[in-house]
Amino acid sequence: MKKIVYLTDQMYLHGGAERVLTNKANYFIKHNLAEIYIITTEQQNKKPCYDINSNVKFIDLEINYDRNKSYFHPKNVLKLPKHFLNLKKELNKIKPDNIVTLSLQFDYYFLPFILKGIQKIKEFHSSRYFRSIERKKNKSFFKKQFYKFNDYIESKYDSLVLLTIDEKQHFKSDNIAIIPNAISHYPSKQSNLNNNKAISAGRIAPVKQFDKLIEAWSYVAKSIPDWKLEIYGEGSKQDLDELQKKINKLNLSEIIFLRGQTNDLESKMLEASLYVMSSKTECFPMVLLEAMSCGLPVISFNCPYGPKNIITDTKDGFLTPADDIKGLGSKIIEVIHNKKELEILSINARMKAKLFLPETVMQKWLKLFNIKNITK
């Protein structure tokens, strides 16, 4: 049986990459397709945040980079030798057939050059849209050389796995594979669309633009005051305080609620009747698929690039112009006022989510790893 090693920073924080890796590891173990190892650099003796099969083997290198500083800060650079040596030692013990790195830590740079003869893959979970814009505008000689160095490193991987075809234009290498994420399961239940409640979820961070969602909901509140909005997610106290201040300033404290983190987002979705996304950028937002699998109609900013690779506009959801706060609010109002449309969107959303079940998506990974599919 093949041995697959995944490299990442940690598995205790709630996030898309952590959830997707958990799903993949569980799939491989469930179907007896491979031995799975997850090597982290800063797990800090904490339990994984998602339920993962007990047969998955965890190894923490205890590097513990300072996440508040750049990886190239002297304090972190000094930890590079330990990272390199400890990782190489563990890989020599495991003797894996495939290594996949999810991180952009130092292993991203040195992984292609250690243990020759083993397939090495870099898996990307964020969009390069804005970085690509910055690269084109940049005139710094140093940064130009750094970009070229990154291109060189990426060319040395056996494969770079991207989530959408749109991302391919931002890479210089020809070793690209496109594999979307799969949902973990398909709920047997679905929302009855009877609760006057919308939901949104994600890290409480500027890129998610929950502040713009709150502003958009101020238009909704004026037109449909009996509808509530619940936002789930964890973040820094500063970011949470800023959002609560905005809610209070707009007199929406009885309408919009910051619910914090939940380990059962599915049940919260089943209690809602609409899902809304207001992100600045999304590579492939799993939360949209999860909402659609629960039968929730979805409305999202048409940000680069994820939402448009999931939502078929007007059929199973709606895409509004990126950062158009009033436009987002108007579309929410329009959909809420049309119960029949909500019901049609719900049916189509459930159908769309089926396209991303593990039985379909994981075949692409099996092919990339050259693992014979014995689950059919």
pLDDT of residue 15: 79
pLDDT tens per residue, range 298-347: 999 999 999 999 999 999 999 999 999 999 999 999 999 999 999 999 99
Amino acid identity for residue 187 in this structure:
P
Is 32 exposed, middle or buried, given 0-12, 13-18 or 19+ CB atoms closer than 10 A?
exposed
The mean of the pLDDT values for the chain is 95
State the pLDDT at residue 36. 98
- Is the pLDDT confidence value at 158 over 60? yes
pLDDT category of residue 263 using cuts at 50, 70 and 90: confident
Q: Which residue has the tokens 């397709």?
A: 33
Q: Is the peptide bond before 275 cis (omega within 30 degrees of 0)?
A: no
* Best mean pLDDT range from 13-22, 62-71, 245-254: 245-254
Residue pair 61/90 in contact (Cβ under 8 Å)? The answer is: yes
- Look at the block and give the residue holding tokens 């059962």: 264
Whether residue 269 has pLDDT greater than 90:
yes
Task: For residues 117-125, give the mean pLDDT.
Answer: 95
Q: Are 276 and 300 in contact (CB under 8 A)?
A: yes
Under 8 Å CB-to-CB from 366, ≥6 apart: which residues? 33, 372, 373
Pairing of strands 98-101, 2-8: parallel
CB 177 within 8 A of CB 159: yes
List of domains in the chain: 2-182+358-369 (3.40.50.2000), 197-354 (3.40.50.2000)
> Which pLDDT band, with edges at 50, 70 and 90, does 282 fall under?
very high
- Position 205 scores a pLDDT of 94
Q: Measured between alpha carbons, how far is residue 203 from residues 210, 234, 288 in Å?
A: 10, 6, 14
Nearest to 127 by CA among 303, 313, 291: 303
